[in-house]
Structure 1
């Protein structure tokens, strides 16, 4: 009887951990933004994370950046850049690893935030 209870408990724990991973994965797709301004520059960063690809165990990611230098208190010309990344899902840590630039993206659904390194992005659209 104890063996059956132990087995049942382990099965329930496994199901519970899978549910948490699925909930997190349903939060991930969407658009996230970050804005930073300092004495010498201002920048806006947008991450667009697409739907999970089960075959590749990955997410497509587009990063769009706008950057403006500030000289003598006046904003300069706005510069743009865009990159496409492939983010590999790490179910154990609940994060995405981007091999192209060795970055790790962590998610915090309760606050609607993701961290790319130390930079914090707010979710503005998509997913749950």
Structure 2
């Protein structure tokens, strides 16, 4: 009985030791979406975060946006924009810093969410 208890304790200890930053970093790669609508436009954003480059401690990020302007209460034609960013992993804050536009990307695996500034994106797919 004591032996089983020891093995059980060691198993639990090993399992909890595996949790932490690596869990967050394994969550990060994937596709995230956001929809926003205002008085003057409607936009659909997609962020695709690639795999960590361990040498540069960076993530490739692609932002694709489809949007429609609203003029006189009517939706205009669909327009598209795309940007490629290089995000540097900040170990201390556990976030990605995008120097090109001074954006900070934070991740919340428990709620399947990425925050880009104050804008919330939902994860829809893995890396």
Q: 1:93: Cα distance to partner?
A: 0.8
Structure-2 residue corresponding to 1:93? 93
- Which runs of structure 2 are paired with 1:64-79 in the superposition (5 Å)? 64-79=64-79
Once residues 86 and 21 of structure 1 are traced to their aligned partners in structure 2, the CA distance between those partners, rounded to angstroms, is 20
1:63-122 superposed Cα distances (whole Å, 9 cap, x missing partner) = 001111112221101110101000000111110000111100000000000100010000
How many residues align structurally? 113
Give 4+ residue runs of structure 1 displaced > 3 Å after superposition: none
Structure-2 residue corresponding to 1:111? 111
Q: Taking structure 1 as the reference length, what is the TM-score of the superposition?
A: 0.83
Q: Taking structure 2 as the reference length, what is the TM-score of the superposition?
A: 0.84
SS at match of 1:24: helix
Structure-1 residue corresponding to 2:51? 51
Can you give the 5+ residue segments of structure 2 that lack an aligned partner in the other structure? 1-12
Q: 1:39: Cα distance to partner?
A: 2.4
